């Protein structure tokens, strides 16, 4: 059905669907309409009811939000921005569309004449249901206290309720007051509550930004403006500065100069407040290949979604994202078994869980065949149509017609910003794929000057920025002329419990390890293999000191090899999760605790086998304790190295540099007393020196030796290594 003509209800058909889905009987193309918004149930020749299908903005009948409501002649139904009137008479049943307001600033309105109170929250039983992670399940209530007097009351919400920018517990409302719950604002005007059309509306303005790296200009004097719900492509040859521009726009990289504004607010200065509204899918996959699609998204939901959302709500959100990505049949498949395009969709799904208003994509179709590229581009187009602003960097031109606007970047300069349909004529080429070659043959004055003299620059850059500036000045004048002017929006940085993150990260890490059976077998198999080698060497040759040294060195090896790749191998996943919600200490300690369990098993097997076939003096339990502490020292040292380097190859390359000094400076090869002073100082920093020394003392003096100061020094290696790992991980947070 079109959106401009009346619609006749046939009694022979029992159900009519209403929504943004093109297969709906009543198709309404607006971001404020859900794909499956509502349905009309025909109960008889002149009997009709409407049922809301858990839509995002709800279905209103005569100004009141309803779940299921019988309809009468003359009833007014509001679905998004579409208001239609029900006609039921002897001629039949008809829906008439007298009002359509595409430019409306409101997504819903609630006439308080029909309500004694309005309950606002995320819960399904609320009168005004707000689908936002920053809104509590039961957030606030607007109630009538006296004749023509209404009061708003905060109900203990996490992020608070604000009136005209000030947090309140209870306040009597005045005309033109602005009420805010989470990121969503309402206008109180003449006894009616209007929900402002802002949640998914994000406008980005970029003015004169530049970026240099090692004195090399990567971006120069770039200005552009991106309107809400646009799908914008940032195109250019490899090395032109596309990815840098995307990372500057999303806040990951600080510009050297210029200003980036979201809805008029400086992004650089207020990045912490905006980051929950920004989604970013980098070139690299940000998912663990060992997990299934379902587990990947569910763990991400536990880390990113608010803590007062129960698991059923989080599972529903995951199901919704999987359905959006068209991965229903693959949701129990391991990520490493998916195709390149499917893996990229899973990475995208992680970002879509929080429904960001602004979504950045960096080369998401790189390496895909033309068919998959087209399918991915159509998915991004649907996401933009659903209400999100999508900005994508790519060097591919095959599907550029799906963009609303394209920005061509060449050697750090913006040389075109306008409709993709005009690209061929602007650069005077026969087909889009010829544009990049044409860039190397600039016109007189250069591409930058030509663009700044063009109508495209005047309309899509200067015109838009001027319009935004005039709008800001107009709003300022209104605010100065009226005490009740529209206040600036309050932004929230969602708080997450460190303990809950630790539990989730530990569960996920155990799941990752358990799904990598080959690696687990290799790690656990080292203990019996090394034990067998020690037995073969020492079964008839009772050199106790050499055996104890071998036990100490083996334990350090276990810890190092278990952990030395574990941080650097997931650096891209960590970087993205860290920006969104991840706390540093829970992340690191989840690895320490889980890997400690692995070390316990390895040390148990090692000590049990060796002590069974090679008897030696001393308390075996005490020796086991020293061996285990040595392994934990190696484990935390491995994590520290993993935090220092940026690739797994470098981490493994450092491993011999760690272990060889453990041998040379332990006092086994050369007695410490016979070393030169510098070597003696170096030996103090070797785990093996203290571990080996303790094992010798236990062998000679039995119990009591474990309380020696040597044990305190050995144990001290663990917190010191953890602090080093925390320091180097924290350094990665610095925005460049």
Selection from 479-493, 494-508, 577-591, 632-646 with the highest mean pLDDT: 632-646
The CATH class given to the 7-96 domain equals: mainly beta
∠ CA 677-682-683, rounded to 5°: 95
Topology at the third CATH level for domain 204-277+356-477: Rossmann fold (3.40.50)
Domain locations in the chain as residue ranges: 7-96, 106-196, 204-277+356-477, 498-735
Distance CA 439, CA 436 (A): 5
Which residue has tokens 């920025």? 465
Distance CA 211, CA 413 (A): 11
Q: Percent of the chain beyond pLDDT 90?
A: 41
SS3 481: helix
**Which residue intervals of 482-566 are DSSP H helices?**
498-515, 517-538, 544-563
DSSP H or E segment with residue 201: none
Distance CA 306, CA 303 (A): 8
Backbone dihedral angles phi then psi of residue 309, each to the nearest 5 degrees = -85, 125
Q: What is the pLDDT of residues 590-616, one digit of tens each?
A: 999 999 999 999 999 999 999 998 877
Closest by CA position to 161, among listed 188, 191, 192, 197: 188
CB-CB contact of 592 with 600 (8 Å): no
Selection from 37-51, 526-540, 625-639 with the highest mean pLDDT: 625-639
DSSP H or E segment with residue 123: none
Q: Average pLDDT for residues 289-318, to the nearest whole number?
A: 89
Q: What is the pLDDT of residues 381-435, one digit of tens each?
A: 888 877 789 999 998 888 888 999 999 999 999 999 999 999 999 999 988 889 9
Q: What is the pLDDT of residues 628-674, one digit of tens each?
A: 999 999 999 999 999 999 899 999 999 999 999 999 998 888 888 88
Distance CA 31, CA 23 (A): 16
Q: What is the pLDDT of residues 555-578, one digit of tens each?
A: 999 999 999 999 999 999 998 988
Closest by CA position to 602, among listed 580, 635, 574: 635
Q: What is the pLDDT of residues 82-112, one digit of tens each?
A: 888 898 888 888 888 645 444 455 667 788 8
Fold agreement (7-96, 106-196): yes
The rounded mean pLDDT for the chain is: 85
pLDDT at residue 260, rounded to an integer:
92
pLDDT at residue 495, rounded to an integer:
63
Distance CA 631, CA 639 (A): 12
Q: What is the pTM of this model?
A: 0.77
SS3 458: helix
Evaluate if residue 581 carries a pLDDT over 90: no
Q: Average pLDDT for residues 141-157, to the nearest whole number?
A: 88
Strand partners, 152: 142, 171
pLDDT at residue 103, rounded to an integer:
47
Q: Average pLDDT for residues 262-280, to the nearest whole number?
A: 81
Evaluate if residue 347 carries a pLDDT over 70: yes
- Residue 463's contacts (CB-CB under 8 Å, 6 or more residues apart) are none
SS3 content of the chain, % helix, strand, coil (to 5): 45, 25, 35
Q: Average pLDDT for residues 210-217, to the nearest whole number?
A: 87
Distance CA 525, CA 518 (A): 10
If pLDDT is split at 50, 70 and 90, which confidence band does 484 have?
very low
Q: Which two tokens stand for residue 305?
A: 């979604």
358-362 vs 204-213, strand pairing mode: unpaired
If pLDDT is split at 50, 70 and 90, which confidence band does 124 have?
confident
Evaluate if residue 5 carries a pLDDT over 70: no
If pLDDT is split at 50, 70 and 90, which confidence band does 1 have?
very low
Of 179-183, 245-249, 465-469, 730-734, the one with minimum mean pLDDT is 465-469
DSSP 3-56: SSS-EEEPTT--EEEEESSTTSSEE---TTS-TT-EEEEEEETTEEEEEE-S-S
pLDDT at residue 486, rounded to an integer:
40
Q: Average pLDDT for residues 277-293, to the nearest whole number?
A: 90
Q: Average pLDDT for residues 487-508, to the nearest whole number?
A: 75
pLDDT at residue 361, rounded to an integer:
92
Topology at the third CATH level for domain 106-196: Tumour Suppressor Smad4 (2.60.200)
Q: Average pLDDT for residues 620-631, to the nearest whole number?
A: 93
In sign, the C-alpha dihedral spanning 558, 619, 531, 609 is negative
Round the CA-based radius of gyration of the chain to a whole number and report it. 32
């Amino acid at each position: 059905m079109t959106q401009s003509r009346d619609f006749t209800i046939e009694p022979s058909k029992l159900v009519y669907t209403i929504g943004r889905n093109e297969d709906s009987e009543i198709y309404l193309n607006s971001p404020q309409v859900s794909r499956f918004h509502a349905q009309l149930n025909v109960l008889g020749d002149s009997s009709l009811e409407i049922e809301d299908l858990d839509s995002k903005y709800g279905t209103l009948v005569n100004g009141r939000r309803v779940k299921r409501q019988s309809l009468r002649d003359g009833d007014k139904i509001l679905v998004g921005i579409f208001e239609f009137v029900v006609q039921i008479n002897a001629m039949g049943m008809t829906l008439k569309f007298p009002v359509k307001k595409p430019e409306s600033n409101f997504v819903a309105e609630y006439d308080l004449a029909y309500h004694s109170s309005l309950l606002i929250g995320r819960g399904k039983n609320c009168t005004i249901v707000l689908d936002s992670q920053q809104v509590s399940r039961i957030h606030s209530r607007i109630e009538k206290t006296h004749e023509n007097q209404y009061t708003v009351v905060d109900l203990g919400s996490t992020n608070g309720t604000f009136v005209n920018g000030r947090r309140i517990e209870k306040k009597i409302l005045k005309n033109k007051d602005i009420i805010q719950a989470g990121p969503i604002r309402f206008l109180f005007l003449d006894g009616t509550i209007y929900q402002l059309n802002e949640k998914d509306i994000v406008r980005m303005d970029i003015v004169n930004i530049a970026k240099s790296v090692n004195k090399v200009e990567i971006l120069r004097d770039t200005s552009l403006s991106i309107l809400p719900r646009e799908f914008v492509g940032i195109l250019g040859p490899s090395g032109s500065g596309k990815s840098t521009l995307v990372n500057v726009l999303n806040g990951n990289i600080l510009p050297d100069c210029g200003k980036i504004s979201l809805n008029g607010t400086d992004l650089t200065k207020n990045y912490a407040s905006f980051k929950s509204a920004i989604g970013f899918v980098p070139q690299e996959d940000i998912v663990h290949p060992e997990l299934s699609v379902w587990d990947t998204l569910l763990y991400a939901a536990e880390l990113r979604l608010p803590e007062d959302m129960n698991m059923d709500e989080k599972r529903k959100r995951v199901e919704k994202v999987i359905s959006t990505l068209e991965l229903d049949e693959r949701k129990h498949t391991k990520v490493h078994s998916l195709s390149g395009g499917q893996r990229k969709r899973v990475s995208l799904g992680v970002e879509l869980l929080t429904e960001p208003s602004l979504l950045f994509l960096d080369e998401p179709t790189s390496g895909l065949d033309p068919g998959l590229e087209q399918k991915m581009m159509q998915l991004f187009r649907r996401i933009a149509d659903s209400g999100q602003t999508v900005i994508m960097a790519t060097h591919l031109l095959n599907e550029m017609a799906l963009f609303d606007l394209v920005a061509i970047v060449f050697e750090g300069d913006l040389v075109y910003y306008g409709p993709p349909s005009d690209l061929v004529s602007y650069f005077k080429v026969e087909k889009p794929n010829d544009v990049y070659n044409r860039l190397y043959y600039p016109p007189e004055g250069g591409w930058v000057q030509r663009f700044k003299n063009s109508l495209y620059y005047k309309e899509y850059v200067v015109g838009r920025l001027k319009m935004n500036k005039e709008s800001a000045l107009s709003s300022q004048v209104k605010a100065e002329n009226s005490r009740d002017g529209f206040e600036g929006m309050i932004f929230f940085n969602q708080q997450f419990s460190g303990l809950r993150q630790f539990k989730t990260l530990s569960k996920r890490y155990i799941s990752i390890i358990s799904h990598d059976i080959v690696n687990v077998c290799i790690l656990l198999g080292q203990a019996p293999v090394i034990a067998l080698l020690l037995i073969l060497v020492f079964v008839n040759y009772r050199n106790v000191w050499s055996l104890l040294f071998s036990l100490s060195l083996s334990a350090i090896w276990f810890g190092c090899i278990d952990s030395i790749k574990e941080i650097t191998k997931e650096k891209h996943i960590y970087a993205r999760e860290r920006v969104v919600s991840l706390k540093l200490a829970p992340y690191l300690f989840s690895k320490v605790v889980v890997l400690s369990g692995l070390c316990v098993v390895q040390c148990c097997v090692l000590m049990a086998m060796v002590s069974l076939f090679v008897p030696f003096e001393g308390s075996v339990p005490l020796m086991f304790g020293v061996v285990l502490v040595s392994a934990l020292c190696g484990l935390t040292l491995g994590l520290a190295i993993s935090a220092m380097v940026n690739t797994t190859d470098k981490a493994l390359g450092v491993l011999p540099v760690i272990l060889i000094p453990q041998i040379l400076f332990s006092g086994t090869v050369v007695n410490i007393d016979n070393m030169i002073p510098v070597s003696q100082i170096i030996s103090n920093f070797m785990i093996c020196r203290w571990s080996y020394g303790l094992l010798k003392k236990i062998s000679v003096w039995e119990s009591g030796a474990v309380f020696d100061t040597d044990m305190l020094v050995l144990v001290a290696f663990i917190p010191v290594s953890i602090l080093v790992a925390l320091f180097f991980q924290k350094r990665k947070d610095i925005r460049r």
